[in-house]
Amino acid sequence: MTDPRHGGIAILDFGSQYTQLIARRIREQGVYAEVFPYDADPAVVNHHEPKGYILSGGPSSIYDDDAPQLPPFVLACGQPVLGICYGMQALAHALGGVVAPARAREYGPAQITTTGDSPLFHDLPQTLAVWMSHGDRVEQPPAGWTTLAATANSPYAAMGQLERGLYGVQFHPEVAHTPQGEQILRNFLFGVCGCSANWSPASFIEDAVTRIREQVGGERVLLALSGGVDSAVAGALIHHAIGEQLVSVFVNTGLLRLGEPEQVVSVFRGGQGMNLIAVDATETFLDGLRGVTEPEAKRKIIGRLFIDTFAEEARKLENVRFLAQGTIYPDVIESAKSSKQAKVIKSHHNVGGLPDDLQFELVEPLRDLFKDEVRKVGAALGLPDSIVWRQPFPGPGLAVRCLGELTWERLETLRAADAIFLEELDAAGLLRNSTSQCFAVLLPVRSVGVMGDNRTYEEVIALRAVTTDDFMTADWARLPYDLLAKVSNRIVSEVKGVNRVVYDISSKPPATIEWE
């Protein structure tokens, strides 16, 4: 079969916070898109024979000493190019145009007026609402280029060299604040580049199965199955490809949500027929975490214990050559960024830290997919909605939602409150469509309350619900008051040891989504 990744779009990243969003918007049109650092090896960028290039925005000024410049191969390839914001400036500068600080910087909503016909703005109104974010602007386009759109502050809000298929836009078509941005990208993909819409869950599965079989052959593969979406879909996909050659290990840390350990075994061993080894290591983890309250210390202990437990099970197996991981595309993009730009917000356990006597070759079948694509592939593979649409869950589990000391009793309290919250959100139809991540947090705080005629002094549950497109930023969900009241009443009435419920109305940033 034809690789569905061929003939797509290569995106060169100049440092924009929206780069991943560009790729997602293109994938939503059924066209494969891949992100590369602007200085990536041309052979790597062109491996899948892209039909066009998109240059992302970025925070630099083109005349800064260390400003990233347009790689020469992009123009030498002769394929269409779309420069966005800084990408437009880099394109103009490389071809002899003039870029300079704008007299009035544009950040936020603006209106552009298109001038004449062009493939980029085909079938769009003459006046468009767009989202601007720039300090510099093109003062003089390269020779042979024409103005395609302008604003009051930017005479070249869009420009192009139509014969060569070269375009630049000063605004961001990939963000929701540019309402017709999707159509602009569609025009570039299909009208300018001549791409085909052949990127779909079905085409991905067919291609991935072939690649897994080619890589693995007759060898065995080991997978750490957490029950989360990524490892679940990776497991289902690999099992679909090689059947009993896959051995999955599920470690119950005692830090999962209500009913999850039983559900994982039921779905994957019973429903999917996978070769699943289930290990109950609850006592090991609780013993190791006794008295520990510092968040990073919790994470490190959980990571070490997880690796130790997984390694112990791996040593019992024979003739295992490959280790499968549910790595997804945002992980790949982030790992490709330079270390000087990376900042560690929190650590997670990862089976990549296995001891030296357990060295495997990696199988990462989902490394080309965004989270929403992972869910679509999971649904196409027949996984139940309870797995495919499972709420995001941190690697350390409830340990970072149970603030303070971890005990079995406090974890059970948190599990019960969390289950009530998710149950009521689901019943109200808000769990999948109106929220992105929802959970309860048990605080190491006691407050005075009254139940019946008695004074109580019990712990506090905080509820957290957010909406987000990319999890890089998030806003608190405006849940109905009546729903919050019902959840609060149920938790206080049904969960022993809790007499107060609060709702977190912090956005990210400045807060993070998780509390620890």
* 294 given a catalytic annotation: no
Of the residues 93, 134, 172, 349, which is catalytic?
A: 172
Cβ contacts of 300 within 8 Å, gap of 6 or more:
347
Q: Which amino acid is at 262?
A: E
269 near 244, Cβ under 8 Å?
no
* Contact present, 267 and 261 (Cβ < 8 Å): no
| Residue of 478, 497, 505, 472 whose CA lies nearest to 17 | 472
Tokens of 201: 């869950």
Which residue out of 106, 174, 313, 458 is catalytically annotated? 174
Q: Closest Cα partner for 102 from 110, 357, 221?
A: 110
Asked about 85 being catalytic, the answer comes back as: yes
Q: Tell me the C-alpha to C-alpha distance, in Å, between residue 492 and each of 11, 147, 235, 416.
A: 51, 64, 39, 11
Q: How far apart are CA 94 and CA 306, in angstroms?
A: 51
For helices 295-315 and 282-289, angle between their N-to-C axes, nearest 10 degrees: 150
Of 85, 193, 402, 438, catalytic: 85
The vertex-146 CA angle with 134 and 14, nearest 5°, equals 35
Position 243, amino acid:
G
CA distances from 499 to 125, 433, 483 (A): 57, 30, 18
Q: Which residues are catalytic?
A: 85, 172, 174
